[in-house]
Structure 1
């Protein structure tokens, strides 16, 4: 997510999509002699060129499916809606409310006090979707509603309104795979003090949803009663608890896990032992123990968690990476050394929080260099250099409540910029990670004033998608074995954006035929394809791309409305014999106003976005259909 969302007042709209892959009909299967699929190849679409195209969410891409007998069939892709976040489809205490309406600690829908008719808040930013494996024969989808851009009075509400998630029960057509929502319920976060800005998420190997809480409120600035952080957290607390005095920044910045029971009811727990930072998402490795994280923002870190037990993230060891640069070609490359930050259980960390601990209980501070103090620069404290000294006995509190700061003090790299989504390629033992904007702290420090300068890579505002190679037998920075077979000792550029020296006729400042500002990533094992969604102000229209890891072909498969962000990618290779790919988009029109667009009339474009979608009014969920089942592909292809 772009940091400007913390203050923007512009338009935001979200729309989700999915590529659904219906099963092959019996007649077609017979005509193919029941041959399995050998490979899948996406044929991309052109970038939109007219106002009509630039306003729509659409695809005219196709897919070539090659069967083992050598035959190839081409399938066109099309788009379908499910529901909008403004639609009154969610049931809350017997009342139908908009899907994107948040609920308070008592389960009541939260009203917008700036409204005139007692209306509820309605998030315009649906984000992550996880389509769970069938539970008792039913399909369920967890959806994030990330934030509220503006209130009914048109004022910025970002980060002030409690966030929410919903659980949607789906009806699936047994012949075509078509999905229809039959019930939507809001998920109760009262057991974990509410939900803070859930960005992307993932599905765990044990069929639970792992959410996120990004842009954690800074506990140091919170201590200043006149700070924006204090005001933000207290406003959030008033909306959620009905009491601003219950505000505590240490409640937020973790991985929430949502479990759906056999009866279709949800339970929620936050994993405090996974560390507190700007969680973009958590991606679990095939050992069911090792987890990699994105840390969104500027001057952020790379973190890894190794659980004590499989399928249980309630206790484990947290690590932070030190980046040791090895090259600048194709975006850049470097070795990763992992620093052990400590071990904890969720209960231990929550007990520390509930003790009433504050930032000043953990660190001593200085305004200038001082003996015994460590200079660091992180996303926290508004990115300013800090001089910190750990107080005696506060190692665990620092490691799990001030994870990024503590990591920097121990020598970990906190120079990553806009670290976003992650995806796993299980067969090749690779993790993909998106650096949406490779600039600022990832460039060489020309001032010589930063405490560290580990990363000195080329400036690429359009960003880079990296791959991390995974291995076992790795040791931490102290020479101790890491109990995982999925540790990343290195990373290197894979898909690189291209900045333009000047905007083109459509206002693009990055090459429109390459990925600009990769954000959400999702990988299909069956299709051997990495899907990349953009969060780009450098493309007038943002896109979803399909990158084949074998052929290295990159194809555009979706365009979202002008100024919108493509979010929430989620590839599900098999749900009752059908395959789906979900993705969301947000804030159509938002990034258009300041652009120099000569190919179309900019004012007419913005008017069309407002009239046809409803800027700042809603977000939506839908899917693209058209492909045969990829589950008929050979194993390990």
Structure 2
């Protein structure tokens, strides 16, 4: 997600369900969770804070008895991209043989290229993997290294040097959940001609990593002039062969990585998922529906439905048409889906491998002409007049997905479409639009071939909410075989542009999200996490947005000029939860005024190898739901000295509860909703939902009334 020159939780109630009858030695009953929310942190104020990645936020849990427990959060760095782990430098660029690619721009100082730009993380556990070298649970972490910013001569190496991914083995401490890297290996992409600018990614429901190849190289421009794209220097560096020229149709796909118990990997590029500027793909719970981000200007919203669950090698690709309903706050629209075609990886790879060119797929015209369709899409960004050659519709659909989609009427006016995630319970998806401007604004000159999107400009961006539904049909009336088809799209979390930069240089409101990028969602916490890639904030932040209360909380800050990347919420992995988060290119394009800028940059240089290192890590301290429940107070423990009694029948009537005498066993039973309380006269214990509770004072009978512990009654009615 390279920039172009970018608590909480619900107030939800969780009812604990217990068996009707348990033995007397059963665990005591606990209060239930009433609400969970993130308590945010202030924006960094000191030089040290501005130059570092950190969190001082916390998670606040309120229980049914009114008690509150706070879980402080902190940031833990696993490694910098310049660190060597088990003998391998994390961010080193490698060629097709796995050897480091050397920067010879300064002949007297040959140095391996090392990325400063870590991106996507997938943290997961591979079944059958042996314990780590430290004896804890062995976890696997796939990480992207998106690009290299500079070579030895301080020239940008963006896109020129092959990118990479690593598979890191992490030790998970079984008692504390702390993560430590023990081994790191670079993933081999030689079987798919290398890896092109991997941006964000996600973990599939079947435990594979789904990577991406962003900013698809323009095959038309390459055919006209190979020097007009990065393709030739890219493949020459990857194969260490100056005679290589490359093929743009080798790149621009979703890449799937399977990690094995022996730490080996298998890699596949999914040609049938379409070729465009893949930010990432997110798979719906059905294991077959994929939603995408398409980064850049004049991009498109795509949908893919695989033929079989957990198999992305064949399926049907669709593109959306935006049918606008409103323009404010990012706008809103119905989404109409246009079928591009059905394809398989195998048949499309044959087309690529035989050296198919742009001119094999399309006829072109320099001006409007009969039979030619006018379009404007990324990566060209210019009006083009195209006609698909007979029999080349499949090649057009999957190798030139955006151009072909525009020819069929799909909307190609989105701008900087970034992260995507899914809220399964509410049947919602979320999509980050980092900058809502340019092609998303009304075409005032009326010069473009289409002007579907005409929303108000918000340079600090918008995170959109998409309604998901089953039973949808495409534009031609054919059924779409998915229960997760986006049907309506509207702005949800909206940035605020400042008319004038503040004293620190912020161009967007500092307490709102600016230029959203990474997204991840927690079902249990009912929280949408949003990471920034902003050129409008001095420091980029990670935010937590409660989809029920709409509370927005800042929970992490990254070094000034850096981008927050690699966001992944990991829930209850061996009893522990994590928020994975990286940063890349620290100190880039600092907005700060002098002399503060000079001080912050000096601190960044000292900490991050003169801005040549990015960081990979996670937010710790986040409890799993199991830990939250187990931390709940035990009923009867909070008021051991409160011996006051209340009229049980009167209290039951006031609460709307049912009270019964069971004369045979002399039990008094109170039923309130699905909860029950049982006691006996002169007894110092009671039973709540089948669990024994000690009473501060025994139940008593006097003048025709039963008197029961006030403290325990108060806790019972809060269940």
TM-score, normalisation: structure 1: 0.91
How many angstroms apart in 2 are the aligned matches of 1:70 and 1:209? 42
Judge conservation of contact 1:88–1:98 (CA < 8 Å) in 2.
Answer: yes
Whether 1:126 and 2:118 are equivalent positions in the alignment is yes
2:92 pairs with 95, 98, 101, which one? 101
Instruction: Note the C-alpha offset of 1:478.
Output: 0.3
How many angstroms apart in 1 are the aligned matches of 2:611 and 2:219? 31
Match for residue 309 of structure 1? Answer: 308
Match for residue 259 of structure 2? Answer: 260
Match for residue 82 of structure 2? Answer: 86
Q: How does 1:107-256 map to 2 (within 5 A)?
A: 107-115=98-106, 116-136=108-128, 138-225=138-225, 227-229=227-229, 232-243=230-241, 244-256=243-255
Aligned residues: 600
Instruction: Note the C-alpha offset of 1:570.
Output: 0.3
Instruction: Note the C-alpha offset of 1:72.
Output: 1.5
After superposition, the C-alpha distances for 1:213-258 in whole angstroms (9 at most, x for unaligned) are 00011000001336331xx211111111223425110000000000
Q: 1:226 to 1:395 in 2, by over 3 A?
A: closer
After superposition, the C-alpha distances for 1:400-430 in whole angstroms (9 at most, x for unaligned) are 1000000000000000000000011111111
Match for residue 618 of structure 2? Answer: 623
Judge conservation of contact 1:39–1:527 (CA < 8 Å) in 2.
Answer: no
Q: Pairwise CA RMSD of aligned residues?
A: 1.8
Match for residue 661 of structure 2? Answer: none
Judge conservation of contact 1:526–1:630 (CA < 8 Å) in 2.
Answer: yes
Secondary structure of the residue aligned to 2:256 is strand
How many angstroms apart in 2 are the aligned matches of 1:97 and 1:132? 21
Whether 1:611 and 2:606 are equivalent positions in the alignment is yes
Match for residue 294 of structure 2? Answer: 295
How many angstroms apart in 2 are the aligned matches of 1:487 and 1:304? 8
Whether 1:47 and 2:4 are equivalent positions in the alignment is no
Moved more, 290-299 or 219-228: 219-228
Secondary structure of the residue aligned to 2:602 is helix
Instruction: Note the C-alpha offset of 1:37.
Output: 4.5
Judge conservation of contact 1:423–1:521 (CA < 8 Å) in 2.
Answer: yes
Instruction: Note the C-alpha offset of 1:134.
Output: 4.0
Instruction: Note the C-alpha offset of 1:36.
Output: 5.9
Secondary structure of the residue aligned to 2:50 is helix
Instruction: Note the C-alpha offset of 1:203.
Output: 0.2
How many angstroms apart in 2 are the aligned matches of 1:39 and 1:247? 56
Q: 1:53 to 1:616 in 2, by over 3 A?
A: closer
Instruction: Note the C-alpha offset of 1:81.
Output: 1.9
Judge conservation of contact 2:189–2:267 (CA < 8 Å) in 1.
Answer: yes
Whether 1:505 and 2:503 are equivalent positions in the alignment is yes
Higher RCO (C-alpha under 8 Å, 6+ residues apart): 1
Judge conservation of contact 2:126–2:259 (CA < 8 Å) in 1.
Answer: no
Match for residue 93 of structure 1? Answer: none
Secondary structure of the residue aligned to 1:572 is strand
Secondary structure of the residue aligned to 2:397 is helix
Instruction: Note the C-alpha offset of 1:271.
Output: 0.4
Match for residue 523 of structure 1? Answer: 521
Moved more, 332-341 or 609-618: 609-618
Instruction: Note the C-alpha offset of 1:511.
Output: 0.4
Instruction: Note the C-alpha offset of 1:505.
Output: 0.6
Tell me which structure has the larger Cα radius of gyration: 2
How many angstroms apart in 1 are the aligned matches of 2:172 and 2:81? 21
Q: 1:44 to 1:3 in 2, by over 3 A?
A: closer
Q: How does 1:331-342 map to 2 (within 5 A)?
A: 331-342=330-341
Moved more, 81-90 or 390-399: 81-90
TM-score, normalisation: structure 2: 0.81
How many angstroms apart in 2 are the aligned matches of 1:120 and 1:35? 57
Match for residue 22 of structure 2? Answer: none
2:575 pairs with 571, 574, 577, which one? 577
Secondary structure of the residue aligned to 1:170 is strand
How many angstroms apart in 2 are the aligned matches of 1:133 and 1:574? 12
Q: 1:545 to 1:480 in 2, by over 3 A?
A: same
Instruction: Note the C-alpha offset of 1:627.
Output: 3.0
Match for residue 456 of structure 2? Answer: 458
1:482 pairs with 469, 480, 483, which one? 480
Instruction: Note the C-alpha offset of 1:368.
Output: 1.0
Moved more, 32-41 or 278-287: 32-41
Instruction: Note the C-alpha offset of 1:265.
Output: 1.2
- What 5-or-longer segments of structure 2 have no aligned partner? 6-25, 130-137, 630-719
Judge conservation of contact 1:3–1:297 (CA < 8 Å) in 2.
Answer: no
How many angstroms apart in 2 are the aligned matches of 1:61 and 1:55? 18
